[in-house]
Chains A and B, each alone.
Chain A
Amino acid sequence: MSVSANENPKVSLRAFLAKYSVLIAFAAIVIFFAVASPTFLTPANLFNVLVNNVVMLAIVALGLTIVISSGGIDLSVGVSVDMASMIFVMLLAAGYSGVVGVAGGLGAALIVGILNAILITRLNISPFLATLGVLFIGQSTQQLATSGGQPIYLTSGYAADQFNAIARTALFGVPTPVIVLIVLAVAVHLLLHRSVFGRYVQAMGAQPGVAWYSGIRVPRELSMVHVLCALLAGVTGILLSATVKSYVPLSGNAFLLDAIGATFIGTTLSRERKPSVIGTLLGVLLLAVVKNGLLLVGWNFYWQQVGIGVLVFLVLAASFGLRRAAH
């Protein structure tokens, strides 16, 4: 049944607040930090937030948005990030060209995705357990490959410097990594919300039995979902290495919970309660701004985590308000 327009001004005000609660909350957070910290709204800081806090997390979250849309989960995105980072850095350190480095890095992430796909679609292991297993294996593999977790640094060389430059430059005033994100976000948006594949993903997420009974090749589409997610995480791995000119084992793990959090914040805020690219990006932005703002006002890392927790609760509260206003 559709919601009829309500003439009661009190109710419609509440409905208005509920409808725009996210934007209002976002604006409030930005204003709060702008007042609390003079550096918050400076171009240098915003550039920093976008490049270091938003882009890499957002690309991982895009992949998770696809997986969560299909009704699954990928706990091994950190491993995909790390594997891509490790192989990329190792190849560059060994003197290979940037193209080879990128191909190798994405190839490593691809292997993680294929492994997930096989475990889930061939061995029928639940996505949660399958990717959890891959997470453990991936972590140990890195430690074995780096004698217990020693970082690999890129000493100056042509390809390494070039990549580092790319990560730090801007095109028409837009940081290059942001351009990478925009291109990927548009692509994933079209894929998820406009393509045949996206329809199948939504159907599998909504009711896997119906997808199977409609003649959809569920195992194949599900494999594609996990491969895409791993590849996107791999892009983040390469961007990460290019930015910090090194590979630090297990650094990808930091993305996992934030990316899941961002995707679910986006899901909770959307009207249909489905994961969407726009919702996910909004979730990433919220997390990134709060983290950066708390850092600037002088909170340490641990208090930032508390801040994120409070943010998640606030989002849930806003979403309940939204739901109640709809009734």
Chain B
Amino acid sequence: MQTAKRDIAVSMTGISKRFGPVRALENANLEIARGSILGLVGQNGAGKSTIIKVLAGIIKPDGGSIVINGETVASLTPASVERLGVHFIHQDRLLVPTATVGEAVFLGHEIGLGPFVSRRAMERKAADLLQRFFGMELPPGTLVKDLTTAQQKVVQITRALAQKASVLVLDEPTAALVKREVDSLFDVLRRLRDDGIAVVFISHYMQEIEKLCDRVTVMRNGTDVGTVDPRQTPIDEIIAMMIARDVGEMFPKRAVTLGAPVLEVTNLRLGGSFENIGFNVRAGEIVGLTGLLGSGAKEIVQCLFGLKTAEGGQVKVEGKQLALSTPVKAVRDGIAMLPEDRRAHGVALGLSVRENISLASLHRYSRGGMVSRGSENQAVDGLIKELSIKTPHRDALVRELSGGNQQKVALAKWLSCQSRVYVLDEPTVAVDVGAKVEIYNLLNRLAGEGAAILLLSSDLLELVGVCDRVLVVYRGRLAGSFSGPSMNSDALLAASSGARSNADGVAA
């Protein structure tokens, strides 16, 4: 803690919130100072987003007090919070794509006379603000959809500033930005801080916290476990505060006995995305794949499942060459896919646990085209028990399950299919810590049973903790293969951003 008396903009004390039996916040505190950038970190489910939603007036706390700009506020609504000068830049709440920049900046606070909106005045004033705060020149009338993601963030911030924001909360603002854009966003935030604005910065990237924040508050299990200066505290220590155990416990290790190569990729190429990609995944091996957005790592995974058609190269599963053109063929050839967008592609929320689990393997539970409920129920019950999926019964809708359990259902679908190769695309996004560990355990067990696992992830900690080997993609090419002691998050990050090339050498 710093000793100097700071100018406190927001002070939340003793905040508690329960959702049924789940304790989301328990006596949590958050103090936001003017003229300073506060980092807020914690695992998914630690209570970060809940406490921010309490401040935003979206969630009503069960107890605790909130003081904003010296004024104790009894109950908050999203509108009243904005009037108090606290503004939020949410991760996924985007601007209206067909609006002009002026309309976006003054949305809800339109300038005009009576019911008539003066578009010209709004455009001029918006251009003025963008120029003054950020030195950004946009032609008047530019549409939001023509802006880059970073420019859209800036427009969102401008909207807050136009309404005299004194506190600015940004939830994962860098998630979709490239490095150059991150740098310019950081410059903007630093300037706002110097102007006396209180900035809260929520991020999963420790490097960003270290670079930008003056202080960082760590949350765990619904409460704040400490506030430190990230420049003087090693990252490992902050991570230890977040997970309250050794990194080793979070990632259960297993004895590795690798078998023959199951997945063999040779010289895979997709124009504009990647080329000359070659690697093997052996039976029992968990291979990580990572790369920045746009590096081509995602497209490699999509080609393996037939979602995109590679323009050249070979993919073999257990020695058999595959014609990967559609997921239909990929599934039949023993490839399983855990997609990143679980709600759109992983599980059908409106179907039952049973219908989801058996969806890809109905041929095993049917005779003459009719589903045999007996054998289906038996298999589904077995998998529910095996993966300890928490569901009231097999016919409950998947919608009613927690994120982690939904992910287990998505995985159970492929276990039921007896797939040989598991391709996982960011499997632990929006899954709480407990479920994460369970998913890691499942991956270990799958690998132990001889499956080949390819894990695409941007969580470097997870890659280092779970994988036997990590491949890094940079600008469409394999930039490195890391294993053993060379496999650490610094090396992976460096290779991802093209700074350093490989440690182990790249298998061609």
Contact = CB atoms under 8 A, between A and B. Distances in A.
Nearest to B332: A215
A310 interface: no
Contact of B347 (A1, A195, A199, A210): A210
B327 A195 contact: no
A10 interface: no
Contacts of B257: none
A199 B373 CA distance: 12
A117 B330 CA distance: 24
B359 interface: yes
A203 B347 CA distance: 10
A196 B346 contact: no
Contacts of A196: 362-363, 366, 369-371
B351 interface: yes
A194 interface: yes
B351 A214 contact: no
Given A195-B370, A213-B345, 4 more contacts: A194-B371, A207-B344, A207-B351, A212-B327
Interface in B340-357: 341, 343-351, 355-356
Nearest to B397: A272
Interface of A: 1-2, 190, 194-200, 202-203, 206-207, 209-217
Contacts of B337: 213
A215 B328 contact: yes
B331 interface: yes
B330 A215 contact: yes
B370 A217 contact: no
B506 interface: no
B360 interface: yes
A2 B392 contact: yes
B277 to A, nearest CB: 22
Nearest to B372: A194
B355 to A, nearest CB: 7
30 contacts: A1-B400, A194-B370, A195-B366, A195-B369, A195-B371, A196-B362, A196-B369, A196-B370, A199-B371, A202-B355, A203-B351, A203-B355, A203-B359, A206-B348, A207-B343, A207-B344, A207-B347, A207-B349, A209-B344, A210-B344, A210-B347, A210-B359, A211-B359, A213-B327, A213-B339, A213-B345, A214-B331, A214-B359, A215-B328, A217-B328
Contacts of A190: 370
Interface string B495-508: 00000000000000
The 4 nearest A-B residue pairs measured at CB:
A215-B331, A207-B348, A206-B348, A206-B350
Interface in B477-494: none
Contacts of B345: 209-210, 212-213
Contacts of A197: 369
A196 B339 CA distance: 24
A217 to B, nearest CB: 5
Which has the most chain A C-beta neighbours within 10 Å: B339, B348, B358? B348
A124 to B, nearest CB: 15
B300 to A, nearest CB: 17
B346 A210 contact: yes
A214 B360 contact: yes
Contacts of B475: none
User: Which of A195, A200, A209, A213 has the most CB atoms of chain B within a 10 A radius of its CB?
Assistant: A213
Contacts of A206: 348-351
A203 B363 CA distance: 15
Contacts of A212: 327, 345
Interface string B309-340: 00000000000000000011011100001010
Residue of A1, A206, A215 most packed against chain B (CB within 10 A): A215
Nearest to B333: A215
B348 A210 contact: yes
A2 B392 CA distance: 8
B490 to A, nearest CB: 35
B402 to A, nearest CB: 12
B17 interface: no
A298 to B, nearest CB: 45
Given A2-B392, A206-B348, A209-B345, A215 B369 contact: no
B369 A216 contact: no
B327 A199 contact: no
Name the residue among A195, A211, A214 with the largest chain B CB count within 10 angstroms. A214
Nearest to A210: B348
A93 to B, nearest CB: 39
B130 to A, nearest CB: 37
Contacts of B349: 206-207
A202 B359 CA distance: 10
A215 B413 CA distance: 11
Nearest to B417: A215
B364 to A, nearest CB: 11
A213 B346 CA distance: 7
B348 A203 contact: yes
A199 B348 contact: no
Contact of A216 (B328, B341, B343, B356): B328
A211 B326 CA distance: 12
A168 B328 CA distance: 48
A31 to B, nearest CB: 36
B291 to A, nearest CB: 22
Nearest to B413: A214
Contacts of B359: 199, 203, 210-211, 214, 216
Contacts of B348: 203, 206-207, 210-211
Interface string B383-405: 00000000010001000100000
